[in-house]
Structure 1
């Protein structure tokens, strides 16, 4: 199990550098990094039943909300906003972003599959990180992390 948890602090520090956000509650970050198959069963004394899936569910909704709000503020239609969410937040795009920004190597997964990170784990972890930031610091911080990860482009005006 030592290999799986190999240098937790290093993993956390690397991920915080990638996403451009420093967690005060590193337990939440650690939860976000637990992909399906991770051998981590408890974080901070609490059981982790679904690994990062609850944070990913929160993150999925926050990503959609932020994209829709940006589209609304830009005067776009419901159809345009829906299309934009489909383009920017689809699993295949989030999977590619996970690889491109160097996040994939820091996700905890099953050692029994040679440490390979599935596409599902990649997209879920990107969403889980957004969810974790939202839970800790709110929408503005989550939006900055989305920009830092390349989910959305930085905007010149930043109302939240």
Structure 2
């Protein structure tokens, strides 16, 4: 991939998520945009044979944590937790977000074997981007919540920024 295309995809992703990496030399966001088989095997000194899948696991856990705190504070039921988590973090909803924000347009695929952004691939890119933000921000839940809000994942006020955490 050309340097110009690399920069274009990264800059576009930054605009979409409303987050500029604090540690650009780690290339977490670039890793998040990689689909398995993209041809990138080493990013920031890390092996990424599976593309963004490892970051997607981190992002999935970070998003669940981001909505768990407010759920707990609301003293809501276990059933309500399960419903809200499934509705907000389902592959279908995350894929919808990826398509509506055009994060799918930032994905890096193998040019010799282009793939369509299936529900799973599109959901993975959202999860991986959140994982990248989590790691890049030194595990800042405020940064994760802010990107989730920017992407439209603050369903029914479940994800709220604590104004004091930004001080």
TM over 0.5: same fold?
yes
Matched, 1:54 2:54: yes
Q: TM-score, normalised by structure 1?
A: 0.88
Q: Is the 8 A contact 1:35 1:109 kept in 2?
A: yes
Q: Which deviates more, 43-52 or 135-144? A: 43-52
Change (3 A) 1:157 1:107: closer
List per-residue Cα deviations over 1:115-151 (Å, max 9, x = no partner): 4222221101100111111112111101100110111
Q: Which deviates more, 66-75 or 127-136? A: 66-75
Q: Which deviates more, 114-123 or 8-17? A: 114-123
Q: Which residue of structure 2 aligns with residue 82 of structure 1?
A: 82
Structure 1 unmatched runs, 5+: none
Q: Which residue of structure 2 aligns with residue 121 of structure 1?
A: 121
Q: Which residue of structure 2 aligns with residue 97 of structure 1?
A: 97
Q: Which residue of structure 2 aligns with residue 14 of structure 1?
A: 12
Output the aligned Cα RMSD. Answer: 2.1
Q: TM-score, normalised by structure 2?
A: 0.85
Change (3 A) 1:59 1:102: same
Q: Is the 8 A contact 2:36 2:49 kept in 1?
A: no
